[in-house]
């Protein structure tokens, strides 16, 4: 359940941060009339993501067992590729996320209402579709042991937490180091993705698309029973399987070791000690409510300064429009 909670929290907070940046910018620039199209785009993106997830869940039930396993294994691998790209993309571009979104929003404001809806839809929809696919693959991988409701409950709880955190960020009631948060959760998400990838390979083996189903790397089912509390915990967090095949273990190691090594390498948010010190100074300045943050500041400044839009517009927030 923790792994699925992490997915919902991480992906939900990324989407929430994007929405906060868009809304705060419109309030700060006194364009509150453009809030409705932006919220409309966010709503459409959420609806499309939910419809995509429902299509995956209910559409696959009509297939034969082999077809279900083939589809599940293929989409699990696709989901791992997407979430890996997303984790590294966020790590590389988080410093410039606010400036990039502001530029897109300025262009959309000049083009009209339809462009505003499209901008908000694309900004949130990409996160939503990736989340729906990865959540479906992860829930499917964890449901065998943890029960059909626990993984989904973990995802929904994570999304609810992300919504609450995003609201607190916007109101200025919460300040955390978002750069550090995304680094830690990104690393843990890579570990979760490795388990989903191994499960996807197992699906393809059960579908007879890949061989080696009978070649077990080890079997510790007697030591770690799948139905025990600790077996359920390991399954829910890491998608651990007590009797994996040789191919599963090989793919898991070939993905996890290089992906985690590259992700934790000292690049991206800070390429040197000096860069790290500059980022720290920027974080402290943003936390004190100063106006010195530049468009190229990090994700911390984005998260902590979204409240500035409401403050400069007279202390009102988006909720005041309702």
Domain coordinates in residue numbering, the chain: 1-264
Q: What is the pLDDT of residue 152?
A: 73
Report, as an integer, the average pLDDT of 163-183.
74
Of 150, 140, 146, nearest to 61 (Cα)? 140
Tell me the backbone φ, ψ of residue 163, rounded to 5 degrees: -65, -45
pLDDT at 254 over 90: yes
Of 85, 98, 86, 82, nearest to 17 (Cα)? 98
Dist. CA 126–CA 319, nearest whole Å? 25
Residue, of 182 and 82, whose pLDDT is higher:
82
Of 48, 18, 8, 69, nearest to 210 (Cα)? 69
- Report helix, strand or coil for 1: coil
Q: State the sign of the Cα–Cα–Cα–Cα dihedral 270, 273, 278, 281.
A: positive
What integer best gives the mean pLDDT of the chain? Answer: 74
pLDDT tens-digit map of 188-238: 888 888 888 998 899 999 988 998 888 999 888 888 887 777 777 777 667
pLDDT at 310 over 70: no
Percent pLDDT > 90 in the chain is: 7
CB 306 within 8 A of CB 24: yes
Dist. CA 172–CA 309, nearest whole Å? 11
């Amino acid at each position: 359940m923790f792994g699925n909670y992490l997915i919902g929290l991480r992906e939900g907070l990324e989407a929430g941060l994007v929405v906060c940046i868009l809304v705060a910018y419109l309030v700060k620039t006194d364009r509150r009339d453009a809030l409705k199209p932006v919220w409309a785009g966010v709503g459409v993106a959420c609806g499309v993501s939910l419809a995509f997830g429902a299509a995956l869940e209910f559409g696959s039930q009509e297939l034969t067992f082999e077809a279900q396993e083939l589809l599940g294994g293929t989409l699990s691998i696709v989901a791992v590729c997407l979430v890996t790209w997303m984790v590294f993309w966020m790590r590389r571009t988080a410093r410039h996320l606010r400036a990039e979104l502001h530029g897109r929003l300025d262009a959309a404001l000049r083009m009209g209402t339809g462009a505003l809806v499209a901008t908000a839809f694309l900004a949130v929809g990409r996160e939503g579709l990736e989340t729906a696919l990865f959540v479906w693959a992860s829930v499917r991988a964890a449901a065998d042991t943890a029960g059909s409701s626990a993984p989904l409950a973990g995802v929904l709880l994570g999304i609810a937490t992300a919504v609450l955190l995003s609201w607190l960020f916007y109101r200025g009631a919460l300040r955390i180091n978002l750069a550090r948060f995304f680094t830690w959760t990104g690393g843990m998400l890579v570990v979760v993705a490795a388990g989903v990838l191994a499960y996807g390979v197992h699906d393809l083996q059960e579908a007879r698309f890949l061989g080696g189903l009978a070649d077990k790397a080890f079997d510790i089912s007697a030591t770690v029973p799948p139905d025990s509390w600790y077996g359920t915990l390991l399954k829910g967090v890491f998608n651990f399987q007590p009797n994996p095949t040789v191919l599963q273990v090989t793919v898991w190691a070939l993905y996890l070791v290089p992906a985690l090594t590259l992700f934790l390498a000292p690049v991206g948010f800070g390429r040197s000690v000096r860069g790290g010190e500059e980022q720290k100074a920027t974080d402290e300045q943003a936390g004190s409510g100063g106006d010195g943050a530049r468009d190229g500041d990090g994700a911390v400044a984005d998260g902590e300064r979204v409240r500035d839009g409401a403050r400069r517009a007279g202390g009102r927030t988006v909720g005041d429009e309702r």
